[in-house]
A and B are shown apart, each in its own frame.
Chain A
Amino acid sequence: MLLIYCPYCEEERSELEFRHGGDAHIARPTNIADITDEEFAEFFFLRDNPKGLIFERWRHIHGCGRFFNAARDTVSDKFYASYKAGEPKPDLSAVHPATEKTVETYEATEGTAK
Chain B
Amino acid sequence: MRKYSVFAVAREALRGHKGWEPQWVSPEPRKEYDVIIVGGGGHGLGAAYYLAKEHGITNVAVIEKGWLGGGNTGRNTTIIRSNYLYDESMDIYEHSLKLWEGLSQELNYNVMYSPRGVMMLSHNIHDKQSFKRHIHANRLHGIDNEWLTPQQAKDFCPPLDISATARYPINGAALQRRGGTARHDAVAWGYARAASDRGVHIIQNCEVKGIRRGPNGEVTGVETSRGFIGAKKIAVSASGHNSVIMSMADVRVPLHSVPLQALVSEPMKPIFPCVVMSNTVHAYISQSDKGELVIGAGTDQYNSYSQTGGLQIITHTLDAICELFPMFRRVKMMRQWGGITDNTPDRSAIQGVTPVPNLFVNCGWGTGGFKATPGSAHLFAHLIAKGEPHKLASGLTLDRFRTGRLIDEAAAAAVAH
Q: Give residues in A with beta carbon < 8 Å to B.
A: 1-2, 15-16, 19-20, 37-38, 40-42, 44-51, 54, 56, 72, 74-77, 104-107, 112-113
**Residues from chain A with Cβ under 8 Å of B253 in the complex:** 46, 49
Query: With an 8 A cutoff between CB atoms, is B17 at the interface?
Result: no
Compute how far the CA of A44 lies from the CA of B342 in the bound complex, rounded to whole angstroms.
17
Contact B305 A74 (CB under 8 A): yes
State the B residues within 8 Å of A (CB): 66-67, 70, 204-205, 241, 243-244, 247, 252-257, 301-308, 310-312, 342, 345, 401-404
Chain A: CB-nearest residue to B403 = A37
Give bound CA distance, A9 to B308, whole Å: 28
User: Sorted from nearest, which 6 A-B pairs have the closest CB atoms?
Assistant: A113-B67, A49-B243, A45-B254, A20-B301, A46-B252, A45-B401
User: B219 → chain A, closest Cβ, in Å?
Assistant: 20
How many angstroms from the CA of A113 to the CA of B404 in the assembled complex?
43
Flag if B304 contacts A48 (CB, 8 Å).
no
**Contact between chains at A49 and B303 (CB < 8 Å):** yes
With known contacts A1-B311, A47-B254, A105-B308, A54–B303 Cβ distance under 8 A: yes
Between B70, B256, B312, B342, the greatest number of chain A beta carbons within 10 A of the residue's beta carbon is seen for B256
Asked if B305 and A56 sit within 8 Å, CB to CB, the answer is no
With A47-B255, A112-B205 as given contacts, are A38 and B402 in contact (CB-CB < 8 Å)?
yes
Roughly how many angstroms separate A90 CA and B48 CA in the complex, as a whole number? 45
User: Do B307 and A106 have beta carbons less than 8 Å apart?
Assistant: yes
Least CB distance from B355 to A in Å reads 10
Q: Does B306 lie within 8 Å of A77, measured CB to CB?
A: yes
Minimum Cβ distance to chain B for residue A45 (Å): 4
Report whether A74 and B303 are in contact in the complex, using a CB–CB cutoff of 8 Å: yes
A75 and B306 contact, CB distance less than 8 A: yes
Q: How far is the CA of A41 from the CA of B344 in the complex (A)?
A: 13
Bound Cα distance from A80 to B42, whole angstroms? 36
How long is the Cα–Cα vector from A50 to B304 in the complex, in angstroms? 9
> Whole-angstrom distance from the CB of A69 to the nearest CB of chain B?
13
Residue on B nearest A46 in the bound complex, by CB: B252
Q: How far is the CA of A106 from the CA of B205 in the complex (A)?
A: 14
Asked whether A76 lies within 8 Å of B252 as measured between CB atoms, the reply is no
Closest to B244 in A: A51
A49-B342, A51-B257 are known; give 13 further A-B pairs, CB within 8 A.
A1-B310, A2-B310, A20-B301, A37-B404, A46-B254, A47-B252, A47-B255, A51-B244, A56-B303, A77-B304, A77-B306, A105-B307, A112-B205
**Given contact pairs A105-B308, A112-B66, A113-B70, A45 touches B303 in the complex (Cβ within 8 A):** no
Which residues of B are found within 8 Å of A2, using beta-carbon distances?
302, 310
**Of A1, A37, A46, A56, which contacts B312 at CB under 8 A?**
A1
In Å, the complex CA distance between A46 and B253 comes to 6
Q: How far is the CB of B235 from chain A (nearest CB, A)?
A: 19
A47 near B256 with CB under 8 A, answer yes
Contact check, A45 vs B304: say whether CB atoms are below 8 A apart.
Answer: no
Chain A residues closer than 8 Å to B254, beta-carbon distance: 41, 45-47
Question: For A48, A56, A107, A112, which residue has the most chain B Cβ atoms within 10 angstroms?
Answer: A48
A77 and B308 CA atoms in complex are apart in Å by 10
| CB <8 Å contact, A75 and B305 | yes
The answer to whether A15 touches B312 (Cβ under 8 A) is yes
Q: Contact: A48 with B247, CB < 8 Å?
A: yes
**Across the two chains, which residue of chain A brings its CB closest to B209?**
A100
Give, as a whole number of angstroms, the nearest-CB distance from B226 to chain A: 13
Give the contacting residue for A49; candidates B67, B255, B312; CB below 8 A: B255
Instruction: Decide if B304 touches A74 in the complex (CB within 8 Å).
Output: yes
Q: How far is the CB of B143 from chain A (nearest CB, A)?
A: 29
Query: Which residue on B lies nearest to A47, using beta carbons?
Result: B256
CA distance A113 to B247 in the complex (A): 26
Residue of A nearest to B310 (CB): A1
In the bound assembly, the distance between CA atoms of A1 and B309 in angstroms comes to 7
| A–B pairs, 13, beta carbons within 8 Å | A20-B301, A37-B403, A44-B401, A47-B243, A48-B247, A49-B253, A54-B303, A56-B303, A74-B304, A77-B304, A106-B66, A112-B205, A113-B66
B residues within 8 A CB of A72? 302
In the assembled complex, the CB of B301 is this many whole angstroms from the nearest CB of chain A, namely 4
Q: Smallest distance from the beta carbon of B339 to chain A beta carbons, Å?
A: 10
Residue in B closest to A114 when the chains form the complex, CB atoms: B205
**A7 to B253 alpha-carbon distance, docked (Å):** 32
